[in-house]
Amino acid sequence: MTSRAKWLWAAGVVLAAGSAVTLAAGAVFCSATLHVPRTPVPKLAPAGARTVSLRARDGVRLEAWHFAAPNHDGRCVILLHGIADRRGAGFAPLFLEAGYSVLAPDSRAHGESGGADVTYGLLEKHDLLDWAAWSRSQGCVAIYALGESLGAAVAIQAAEIEPAFRAIVAECSFSDLETIGEYRLRASFGVPPPLDAWVVHAGMIWARVRYGFDFRNVSPRTAIAHTRTPILLIHGLADRQTPPAHSEALARANPSAELWLVPGAGHTEAAQAAGPEFARRVLAWFARH
């Protein structure tokens, strides 16, 4: 074997080994991303809440709390939680006092809802539209959504499919799955460029081959550019989990969207950082639409 042939053979071995390691890392990253720990739902529902459920389009059972406004006038808000969280009643009093009925679902593969995989909007956007249809069956004529983190991304993606909401508030959404995946690898594990992009790409290939999920279609940035639903984007300037550049990219994709950057607020912490200003802005946004 000539020296050139030996060099080519060695290069091929290194390339094959590197590709195998990258694919393996992508598979591990994919599995960890699809399967997150569940946060338990309290055994006792909050005062005024009733537990409701529906079957998603793929047969998965979805669970939620429903709070009926004392003098229901047809205005309703759906609250959407973030990754590895579960349904909560934190914002329910704000909207109930303003006359809105409130629905707080567990996203699929979270809380007490069924499903084994988190798909970052690929399936969840249809689940949300099913909850909107359920709300209409309960007398809701003006439906709004407030989503946080993953929930914000889901609401934006749902709005592209169907104008089910009068208006949306989206706090700390990611702009697209590849970009946030690369950022999380760099920030959490110190994976440098361009290896971060290679691992994410390998993970997306693994998701398509192993699970049938095409995550190339998960892009709130693309979705917001094709919706006419009024969207208020909120993002904390101190967010280290999903940098504010993501909401800034969403705002650029749809100039009709409104962007509020909150000084000192971390990930989904705008309500704590801004105090009464958060409630004022959110309620005013819904009232305008």
**Do 28 and 45 share a structural domain?**
no
Task: For residue 23, name the pLDDT band (cuts at 50, 70, 90).
Answer: low
**Do 182 and 95 share a structural domain?**
no
Last residue of a domain, one of 166, 190, 216: 216
The one-letter amino acid at 129: L
Least confident of 2-6, 82-86, 188-192, 222-226: 2-6
**Do 167 and 27 share a structural domain?**
no
**Do 166 and 252 share a structural domain?**
yes
Task: Give me the domain span that covers residue 183.
Answer: 1-34+178-216
Model pLDDT, residue 24: 79
Least confident of 15-19, 90-94, 198-202, 234-238: 15-19
**Do 191 and 81 share a structural domain?**
no
Last residue of a domain, one of 166, 195, 216: 216
pLDDT digits (tens, 9 = 90+) for 237-270: 999 999 999 999 999 999 999 999 999 999 999 9
Task: For residue 29, name the pLDDT band (cuts at 50, 70, 90).
Answer: confident
Number of compact structural domains in the chain: 2
CATH number of the domain where residue 270 is located: 3.40.50.1820
**Mean of per-residue pLDDT scores for the chain:** 92
Residue 101 burial class via C-beta count within 10 angstroms: exposed 0-12, middle 13-18, buried 19 and up: buried
Interval 90-109 mean pLDDT: 97
**Do 65 and 102 share a structural domain?**
yes
Task: For residue 71, name the pLDDT band (cuts at 50, 70, 90).
Answer: confident
**Do 87 and 197 share a structural domain?**
no
Last residue of a domain, one of 195, 216, 237: 216
Does residue 193 register a pLDDT over 70? Answer: yes
Task: For residue 28, name the pLDDT band (cuts at 50, 70, 90).
Answer: confident
Does residue 169 register a pLDDT over 90? Answer: yes
Model pLDDT, residue 1: 58
